[in-house]
Every structure is written in C-alpha cells, then in structure tokens.
Amino acid sequence: MTLSTADNEFESQAQALGFDFNGEIKIGGHYASVIQHGHEVYVSGQIPRVGDKVVVTGAAGEGVTLEQAQLAAQICVIRALALLRNQLGSLSKIKQVLRITVYVNSAHNFTQQSEVADGASDILFRVLGEAGRHTRTSVGVAQLPKSATVELDLIAAI
C-alpha cells in the first residue's frame, strides 16, 4: 500500500515526537472518539496520552514550561490525526480542517494559550498543507482530565 504525502508526513511528525501512535487510541468512557456526519468528521477531545500514560501533566506556567505545553498540544493533535487516519483510511481524504479548540491547564497568570496551540497548528499545516489551515480557539482552564496539560478537539471536512 502506498501512503499519501499526508500519511507519510504524519509518520514523520509522529516519529519526530519520539512516540508510537500506531495501534489503538484509548478512550475512557461511553462516547465515540470520532463521528462522521455527512462531509464532516468530529474528533473528541484528546489529551497527551501515549499508550496508558499521560506524558505532559500539570499547569502551564506552574511547573510546565511553554515548550512542554506545546509538546502536549503536538501529541494531542497527532492523536487526533491518528484517529482520523483510522476512520478514513488515509489523511489524504481530509479536504480541510475546519476548527480546533485547544484547552490549556493554566496557572492563574499564564497567558500564552495561543502559543501553546501553535504547537498543534504547526503540525496540522506540516502534515496537511493548506488543508491543515483552520479556525482555532485556545482557552485557559483550571483543570483537565487526568491532570493533562492540554486537551484538543477537532472538526474536519472530507
């Protein structure tokens, strides 16, 4: 099977992070990781979990650096892309990422949520090119599941 350019770039970006995102992406509850409705695909919130371990935890600006929080956002978006690839068979089927929302577990004085989200946005553009350009909201929150530093959800058109 020949991989598309997007699928090859996904593999390259995943390897650059130093983690393996092949295999099952675990979820924790009675919901769907991905729902396809017409020409849109919705990906549930992803935290920076690799296998059974959440690899970046705690509040950005309080024990978690901007760079660590950006890594968390990168892992979250790679997980979302892995789910999309599993659902669609290839990332080349994505016509456009429409929106991402990035939630950042933030210390009370941390104001760089958009810079954290840049970690995810950069990966989307590297993997999907212009199809990875999206609208985005980044929000600081007091806590996330499993004490994760970042949670990200995504909507794409296919």
Q: For residue range 95-143, what is the model confidence (pLDDT) as tens digits?
A: 999 999 999 999 999 999 999 999 999 999 999 999 999 999 999 999 9
Instruction: Report the predicted TM-score, pTM, of the whole model to 2 decimal places.
Output: 0.95
DSSP 8-state code for residue 2: P
Q: For residue range 59-81, what is the model confidence (pLDDT) as tens digits?
A: 999 999 999 999 999 999 999 99
| Mean per-residue pLDDT, 10-19 | 91
Residues in the chain: 158
| Mean per-residue pLDDT, 27-52 | 92
Rounded to whole angstroms, how far apart are CA atoms 116 and 74? 9
Confidence (pLDDT) at 3: 67
The contacts of residue 105 (CB under 8 Å, 6+ apart) are 58, 59, 60, 64, 141, 142, 143, 144, 147, 148, 149, 150
Confidence (pLDDT) at 2: 57
